[in-house]
């Protein structure tokens, strides 16, 4: 896939800042404390996964980082600027695909381009390339209801990538995919990430997926969420699926499983 606006040269001052900084964030939904106290820094171009039990607040955290929900306490900054609303440098894949039912798949993928008032004509070839990468280019003219759940999810990944955002927030993006497609999409995501220098925050329930994709895995405890463990995954890149048979890889998987079991009290 040909990158569009790639070689984004960042000013040195921005390069030195963390891409994302979450400081002492707390979130209450009325009386319910979803997030107790989370602090997290993600470096420019780092790939970080969040692992945590269902209901611990992962989607809540991601939605706040995206500027779509306000935290109750604490501060979230992107490239040093506090988040007060949605920002063009962010692309988000929601846990549910949320496609507009009356728009074709192509027009759904082009939605961020429209919101950001970018030239549509320039982005149609890129959207089509992304759809081909996700193996749904034959459905560009179809409506979301004509696609399966996994195909809709792949379309929503294309939508998050279309405007080439510097920061990708992905909330269990591969959960509706079969194992083989899931592995393929993971490798493809790494390829895009490596070719286009993106910062990724990736939520998953899969320890193996987190270990395979990430530079660092952050483990969250039960609600109200805090960070209970962080592990740097020091494995060579580029990574291919064969890495998952490697003993070093499996050592990380075991260590992560142990950390999760200890923190979640299994």
Ligand X SMILES: Nc1ncnc2c1ncn2[C@@H]1O[C@H](COP(=O)(O)OP(=O)(O)OP(=O)(O)O)[C@@H](O)[C@H]1O
CA distance 38 to 27: 10
Phi/psi of residue 126, nearest 5 degrees: -65, -45
Instruction: Classify 52 as helix, strand or coil.
Output: coil
95 is a contact residue toward ligand X (CB under 6 A)? yes
| Binding test (CB under 6 A) with ligand X, winner from 25, 48, 58, 199 | 58
CB of 204 to Mg ion, least distance (A): 10
Of 222 and 257, which has the nearer Cβ to ligand X? 222
In terms of C-beta density within 10 A (0-12 exposed, 13-18 middle, 19 or more buried), how is residue 198 classed? Answer: buried
Size of the site for ligand X (CB under 6 A): 13
| Binding test (CB under 6 A) with ligand X, winner from 152, 154, 223, 239 | 223
Q: Among 131, 265, 264, 119, which residue's Cα sits nearest to residue 205?
A: 264
Instruction: Classify 236 as helix, strand or coil.
Output: coil
57 is a contact residue toward ligand X (CB under 6 A)? yes
29 is a contact residue toward ligand X (CB under 6 A)? yes
User: Strand ranges (DSSP E) for 30-72?
Assistant: 32-42, 47-51
Q: Applying CB under 6 A, which part among 18-26, 52-60, 97-105, 153-161 lies near ligand X?
A: 52-60
Contact 203, 171 (CB under 8 A): yes
Of 113 and 225, which has the nearer Cβ to ligand X? 225
Chosen from Mg ion, ligand X, none, partner binding at 223 (C-beta under 5 to 8 Å by type):
ligand X
Q: Applying CB under 5 A, which part among 16-24, 89-97, 123-131, 247-255 lies near Mg ion?
A: 89-97
59 is a contact residue toward Mg ion (CB under 5 A)? yes
Contact 194, 237 (CB under 8 A): yes
Q: Applying CB under 6 A, which part among 10-18, 58-66, 99-107, 207-215 lies near ligand X?
A: 58-66
Q: Cα torsion at 15, 156, 217, 57 (round to 10°)? A: 110
| Binding test (CB under 6 A) with ligand X, winner from 24, 55, 122, 195 | 55
Q: Applying CB under 6 A, which part among 51-59, 103-111, 243-251, 253-261 lies near ligand X?
A: 51-59
Residue 227, beta-bridge partner list? 220
59 is a contact residue toward ligand X (CB under 6 A)? yes
Q: Cα torsion at 120, 166, 184, 216 (round to 10°)? A: -170
Which residues in this chain contact ligand X in the complex, by CB under 6 A?
Answer: 29, 32, 34, 52, 54-60, 95, 223
């Amino acid at each position: 896939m040909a990158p569009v606006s790639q070689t984004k040269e960042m000013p040195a001052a921005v390069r030195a800042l963390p891409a994302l900084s979450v400081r002492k964030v707390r979130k209450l939904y009325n009386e319910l404390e979803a997030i107790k106290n989370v602090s997290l820094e993600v470096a420019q171009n780092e790939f970080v996964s969040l692992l945590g039990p269902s209901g611990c607040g992962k989607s809540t955290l991601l939605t706040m980082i995206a500027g779509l929900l306000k935290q109750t306490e604490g501060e979230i900054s992107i490239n040093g600027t506090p988040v007060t609303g949605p920002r063009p440098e962010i692309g988000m894949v929601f846990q549910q695909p949320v496609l507009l039912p009356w728009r074709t798949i192509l027009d759904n993928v082009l939605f961020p381009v429209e919101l950001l008032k970018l030239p549509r004509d320039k982005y149609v070839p890129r959207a089509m390339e992304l759809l081909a990468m996700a193996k749904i280019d034959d459905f560009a003219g179809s409506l979301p209801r004509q696609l399966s759940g996994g195909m809709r999810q792949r379309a929503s990944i294309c939508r998050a990538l279309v405007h080439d955002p510097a920061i990708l927030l992905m909330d269990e993006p591969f959960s509706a995919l079969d194992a083989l497609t899931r592995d393929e999409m993971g490798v493809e995501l790494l390829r895009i990430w490596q070719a286009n220098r993106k910062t990724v925050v990736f939520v998953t329930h899969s320890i193996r997926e987190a270990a395979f994709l990430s530079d660092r895995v952050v483990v969250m405890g039960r609600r109200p969420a805090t960070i209970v463990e962080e592990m740097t995954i020091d494995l060579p890149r580029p990574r291919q699926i064969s890495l998952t048979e490697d003993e070093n890889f499996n050592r990380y998987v075991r260590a992560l499983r142990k950390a999760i079991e200890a923190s979640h009290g299994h």
